[in-house]
Structure formats: C-alpha cells, structure tokens
Amino acid sequence: MSNTAITIPILVAAAALYPLTMGGSAFESFADLFFGLALVEQVSVLALIFSVVFGAVALAGNGGTSSSKSTPSDVVYPLVEMSKLKNEKDKFMCLYSMLKEDCMSELREKHELKQEALDWVATMMDYTVPGGKLNRGTTVVSVHCTLKGGTLTDLETARAGVLGWAIEYLQAFFLVADDVMDESPTRRGQPCWYKKPEVQMIAINDSFLLESFVFTILKKHFGNESYYLQLVELFITVIQKTEVGQLLDLTSQPMGQPADLDRFTLERYRQIVKYKTAYYTFYLPVAMGMITSGVTSASAFGTAERICCIMGEYFQIQDDYLDCYGEPEVIGKVGTDIQDNKCSWLVVQALDRASAAQRKVLLENYGKWDDKNVARVKDLYKEMGLEKIFQDYEEASYVEIQRELDALTVMPRDVFELLLKKIYKRSK
C-alpha cells in the first residue's frame, strides 16, 4: 500500500476527530500530513471531507426524522411548461432553471452572498452543469417510470427529474475537479472551466460548491420523505467510492519518478473502473429510481449493483477507446490518456501482448506530452491491432450482459435494457 493510500484515511479521520480534541498539536499534525500531499491528493482529501460534512449538515437539518409527507409547500414545479414538451430531454432541461435558483437562494438568503459572488456562481453553474449528454440524470426518470409500470404523472416526472439533476450536479463536481487534476484542455467542446483566465485554481473551490448543491437539492425537495436518509446515505457512499477510484487512478504511477509499466495490470484497471465510473454513472441512477419507487429488497439492490458494475466496466473501456480514437469534435474533448500516463484499457491490453521491443517503445513514449511520442504510441496500438481487439471485446461484453439479464428474477429486465441501449456501440 502506498504512503498516500495510508495518509488520506488518516487525514479524514483527523478532520473528523479534531472537534473532539480541540488541541493545537492535533491541528498541527493534521496540517503537516495535509500539506505533505501533492495538490491532486489534497483535492481528493478535501472533497471527501466536504461530502461527509455536507451530508451530515443535511441530515441534521432534517432532525433525523423519516416521516413521509407530501411535496414541500414552497416548491412549485414547472409542470405546465413541461407538459408542452414532447422530448424527454427537453422536459428534463426545463427543471434546470428552477434548481439553479434553489441553489442561488440558499447562497443569497442563508449565506449572505453579495451580487458579485452570486453572478460568479451562476456563470459557473451554467458553464459546468447542463452542457453534457445528461444520460445519468434522464436515466433516473426512465428507471422510475419503468418501476412504476411505464407511466408517471407530471409531478412524478418532475420529482424524478430533480433527483436526476442532483446526479448531474455531482457529475459537474467530479469533472471540474478531474480536469484540474488531469490538466485537460477541453471539456464538452469548450475550454475546461479552470482554463478560463479569470478562473484557474478557483475551479477547485467551485467544484466543492457544486458538490454542496447536491445536498441543497435533496434537502429542499425530499427532506420530508421517508426515504430521504436513504438518498443522502446513497450519495455519500457513491461519492466516497468515486473518490477512491480517482485516488487509485491518480496513483497508478508514482509521481515524480520514472514510469513503472508493471503497475498497469488488468486487476488494477478493473478496480479503478469499478469505483471511479460504475457506481456514480450506473448504480446511482438505478438505485435512486429503485428507492423512490419503493423497492426494499436487498437482493434487488445487490443484483442491480452487480449488473451496473459490469456495464460500468464496459462503458469505461469504450471511453478509453474513444479517448484515443474518437474525433474531438464528436466526443467533445481532446483525449489525453496517453499523455497523462493513465492506466487505460488500451495500454493494459498492449502490455499484455507486447514483445520486448514493443514494451520498450511504450516505456520510451507513454506518458509524454510531445506529439511525436503520442503518435508513436498510437502507431504501436495500430500495429498490435487494438481496434479489432476492442471490437471483439465489445461484442463479448454485450453477450455477457445479455446473459446476466436473461437470469434476472428480482428486477425488471427493462431497467437495464434502457441503460444498455444508451451505451452500446456509442460514438461519444
């Protein structure tokens, strides 16, 4: 286990215990550990601490109760506007302005934020939250609809959409922070938020704000529901799992030292994918739809988790393939896995098949930002036929998922079919 893997849990525990000790020496020990980490590791620590704090505050505000009540009286959903729209994605988008104002009101009324700061946050949200494919958010509505028998009232659609937007805010938090850590140039067809000259490292704090808005949304819209605690705990668990995956990804190579290709194994890759991608991209929207639809079976949640993790691996391998072979104008970003020295599925497959000479090419060129080095790695991938290897994997994975769905007994097959349709042979 690396020093970082040991230090980060110690830091989180120290932060949690500090109010109990209130001693200067305790704070100094925490500070020494924290500032001894690299910037990307400090970001991971702070994000994890913040998620626990925000979750605790949300629960405290609810008084720990679980009484089931109707929609809060101060919430007015844009049901008339939504009813005029035919496209499900358009209906989903119709909720964004309302939720943005919920977050702005929280900052304005409870935190006394002045207009200059409010304008900053509004601009930041518009830039980072709604511009993606919105697959995670709309999946919550689809799952909820499927589990409710195929039809939802306008109000049910709106409330399921609100939960979907909570995931989209979470996604924005992860992406803003991830782009800083990876030094990525573009996201969704435009410069990353931190790349804007007036933003830069302020983006780190902006990412924490985006995370906090997840709990603002949950509290305002679901604070009186019997399943509110379950939703909050689900988000906290998934946030922690995703940040563990990010840590495994960031530490797949030792920082400031020569590349160690022996660390790029299929076992490590699968662990990264499971925690960094599968839980928040697949299991979170499915589990939320299950919770709000009244599913209580532990077996059903276990089955959903297993299938979602299989789909998550498939999805991330597609993502790694598109990072190398996808067109930037189609996928919305410039792929940098080779330059970033990432434990990508492609490099894992290449190393598994490489001759001594091919391994030497990878060692000399992988993880370098010079265009010539990147081109040499891509030439080697072509030489090794990795495109065909991916296509074969994609078909085999699809067959495996279908086999899992054929064996389903505790969950409707349609819940997972709708996910599979969104990702099978995707090009972006």
User: Out of 91, 187, 241, 274, which one is annotated catalytic?
Assistant: 187
For residue 144, the 8-state DSSP code is H
* Residue 260 annotated as catalytic: no
User: Out of 84, 90, 119, 133, which one is annotated catalytic?
Assistant: 133
* Residue 119 annotated as catalytic: no
* Residue 315 annotated as catalytic: yes
User: Out of 102, 179, 206, 249, which one is annotated catalytic?
Assistant: 249
CA gap 334, 255 in Å, rounded: 23
Question: Which backbone phi and psi does 184 adopt, to 5 degrees?
Answer: -70, 145
Q: Does residue 334 contact residue 328 with C-beta atoms inside 8 Å?
A: yes
User: Out of 30, 173, 235, 282, which one is annotated catalytic?
Assistant: 173
Q: Say how many residues make up the chain.
A: 428
User: Out of 91, 136, 241, 276, which one is annotated catalytic?
Assistant: 276
User: Out of 102, 179, 206, 319, which one is annotated catalytic?
Assistant: 319
* Residue 319 annotated as catalytic: yes
* Residue 413 annotated as catalytic: no
User: Out of 102, 178, 206, 340, which one is annotated catalytic?
Assistant: 178
Two tokens at 342? 């990432």
* Residue 249 annotated as catalytic: yes
Residue-wise burial string across 284-305, b where 16 or more C-beta atoms lie within 10 A, e elsewhere: bbbbbbbbbbebeeeebbebbe
Helix or strand run (H / E) with residue 187? strand 186-187
- Give Dmax (Cα) for the chain: 69
CA gap 28, 222 in Å, rounded: 39
Q: How far apart are the first and last CA of the chain?
A: 35
CB atoms inside a 10 Å sphere around CB 44: 24
Two tokens at 3? 């020093």
Q: Does residue 18 contact residue 26 with C-beta atoms inside 8 Å?
A: yes
User: Out of 102, 179, 206, 320, which one is annotated catalytic?
Assistant: 320
* Residue 416 annotated as catalytic: no
Of the candidates 315, 248, 253, 255, the one whose C-alpha atom is nearest the C-alpha of residue 285 is 315
Two tokens at 394? 């994609």
* Residue 276 annotated as catalytic: yes
User: Out of 89, 148, 182, 195, which one is annotated catalytic?
Assistant: 182
User: Out of 54, 315, 390, 416, which one is annotated catalytic?
Assistant: 315
By annotation, the residues acting in catalysis are: 133, 173, 178, 182, 187, 249, 276, 315, 319-320
